A and B are shown apart, each in its own frame.
Chain A
Amino acid sequence: MIAVQELTKRYARNTAVDHISFSVERGQIVGFLGPNGAGKTTTMRMLTCFLPPTSGSATVGGFDVLENPLEVKRRVGYLPETPPLYPEMRTAEYLGFVGKLKGLRGAELANRVNFVLDRCAVSDVKEKVLGKLSKGYRQRVGLAQAIIHNPDVLILDEPTAGLDPKQINETRDLIKSLAGDHTIILSTHILPEVEHTCQQVIIINKGKLVATDSVNNLQRRAGAGAVTIVIAPRNGTLDAVAAKNRLELVPGVTRVVAKGSRENRLAYEVEAHNDWAIRGDLARAVVESGWDLSEMRTAAVSLEEIFLQLTGSEQQTAAAAKTHQPETVAAAAEAEEHGS
């Protein structure tokens, strides 16, 4: 649906987007991830024909953004970072205006306005002046505006920025529910958002593409074979150093990291090349030492960590690559269960 080839945007002094290539299949939700100033908005603006690329190409539904901008614009719904609302207009009136602008007429226009009012849960404010709406409503009207002409592609720039947690959840659910009908690209610098809503992630940093992969694969890539265990003394207290030393003696363990203690329990993160192989030994070691094993689970690696690894210094990136092991598919699968 979307194909981007070596897309570049240069300004007088800096390069905002530097030879980025990726493609998005029909019906997918793709998270566009990167720190502030990474070039997310610039890339989206090029896809919506707001900015022309300096070099490279981008096509939406087979139409090039430079050669056929009108065709691209017909197929794209765009929600910029601040919803483009006219404060003096009323909600329904505004959606009618946008609909007309996007080429809808007559009965079809009226139907679509009613449909998106309903779909984005803004029917109750349809006669309200946009300037007086709360942030959550404004964002939803912004979304309604983006889908009014039933576009193939939805481009959403930070759709949940500035919303409260409840509104964030509502917006996320709404976006997810739109996925069936539209191909969606959403940008964010909030990682859980991607974990919750997207199937695929495109990570960019300083204008360069850092990674493009499915959320599962990315987690798999970084979250190699770590087990979190929590142990408790059967009676008396537990010597943290002794416990750590004992755990390190378990065959296959490469590293043990203390993760703090709570109510006389100690938590450790135990790393191994194959965490499933060491679980039995680990449990036995704990019990044989006279302690209780109160918890053992796969250490869930959040996208947060992956993200820091990928966008951080070269050293960290190298470290992330080193931990990448092929036999941790099962661990990743479990991590996913924990995550959801």
Chain B
Amino acid sequence: MRNIWIICRKELRSYFVSPIAYLLLAMFAIVFGFFFWNAVGYFSYMGVEAQMRGEMFPLNINEQVIRPLVSNVSVIGLFLIPMITMRLFAEEKRSGTIELLVTSPVRDIEIILGKWLAAVLLYAAILLLTALNFVWLFKYGNPDWKPLAVAYLGLLLQAGMLLAIGTFISTLTRNQIIAGAATFGVCLLLWVLEWVSGFESATWARAMAYLSVLTHFESFGKGLLSLKDAVFYVSAIFFGLFLTARSLESLRWRS
């Protein structure tokens, strides 16, 4: 347990000592800020429009602002996640520091969990930025906080899964660019797999759609806590970290 924390702290420090963390935070803040401005702007425009026509427009901040914003966040996450995980093992392999970690009295799984946890915490820090925007909705509006909290949980779980996959891919190469590109490809594929359900309903198509991260985010996005989907994410995290452990082990048999 302590070892996990030691490694996690080291990873977090190297994120924040180098420009990586700040770059990701800034990028996210700008892009999300734009989305937020857009969503809120459109919402108030619709409100004014409705009033002018004298209609009762069913205004709901949760449905019309928060929900689309949350799914936007998970799309931006798709781009950020490869940048977070690509260096985790690839860099250690390239610089040879992996030898230090692996020859220290630390278990492989502690190394992996430490690194993954650092990636999750960095992602959580990025998510925290959205709170700066949402605070205004609570100040001037009256949204329900519970669906938002559930959506955040969903975002974290989804990121946890993709970060675990990214961590695994990072063990496969010494080249960060390759790790990043491959992670992006896999994340994107896991994203769009769901589309198959639009035209095909055979078992294989449903299995494909089931693997998609989008399928499982749907109810979280609506603010519904779905145990089934949470189980999917958690088992995907376990699977990703398991693959990472196997890969780290095989490094030694192969190198």
What residues make up the interface of A, taking CB atoms closer than 8 Å to B?
45, 48-52, 70-71, 73-74, 76, 78, 80-82, 84-89, 97-98, 100-103, 145
Contacts and interface: CB of A to CB of B under 8 A. Distances in A.
5 smallest A-B Cβ distances: which pairs? Answer: A84-B100, A73-B105, A84-B97, A101-B104, A48-B103
27 contacts: A48-B99, A48-B103, A49-B102, A50-B99, A51-B252, A51-B253, A70-B105, A70-B107, A74-B105, A76-B103, A80-B99, A82-B95, A84-B98, A84-B99, A84-B100, A85-B95, A85-B97, A86-B10, A86-B14, A86-B95, A88-B17, A97-B6, A97-B10, A101-B6, A101-B104, A101-B106, A103-B105
A78 B98 CA distance: 12
Contact of B18 (A48, A71, A76, A88): A88
B96 interface: yes
Contacts of B97: 84-86
Contact of B105 (A45, A51, A85, A102): A102
Interface residues of B, number: 24
Kindly name the residue among B10, B13, B103 whose own CB sees the greatest number of chain A CB atoms within 10 A. B103
Contacts of A145: 100
Contacts of B105: 70-71, 73-74, 101-103
Contacts of A89: 13-14, 17
A253 B107 CA distance: 65
> DSSP class of A's interface residues: helix, strand, loop or mixed?
loop
A98 B100 contact: yes
B103 A78 contact: yes
Given A50-B103, A76-B103, A84-B97, A100 B6 contact: yes
B95 A84 contact: yes
B253 to A, nearest CB: 7
B255 interface: yes
A101 B96 contact: no
B104 A73 contact: yes
A80 B107 CA distance: 19
Given A84-B95, A98-B100, 18 more contacts: A48-B99, A48-B103, A49-B103, A50-B99, A51-B253, A73-B103, A73-B104, A74-B105, A78-B99, A78-B103, A80-B100, A82-B96, A84-B100, A86-B14, A87-B95, A97-B10, A98-B104, A102-B105
Contacts of B96: 80-82, 84
Contacts of B102: 49-50
A289 to B, nearest CB: 63
Contacts of B253: 51-52
Contacts of B18: 88
Contact of B252 (A52, A74, A76, A82): A52
B102 to A, nearest CB: 6
Contacts of A84: 95-100
A162 B64 CA distance: 64
Contacts of B98: 84
Contacts of B3: 101
B101 interface: yes
Contacts of B106: 73, 101
A92 B103 CA distance: 20
A87 to B, nearest CB: 7
Contacts of A97: 6, 10
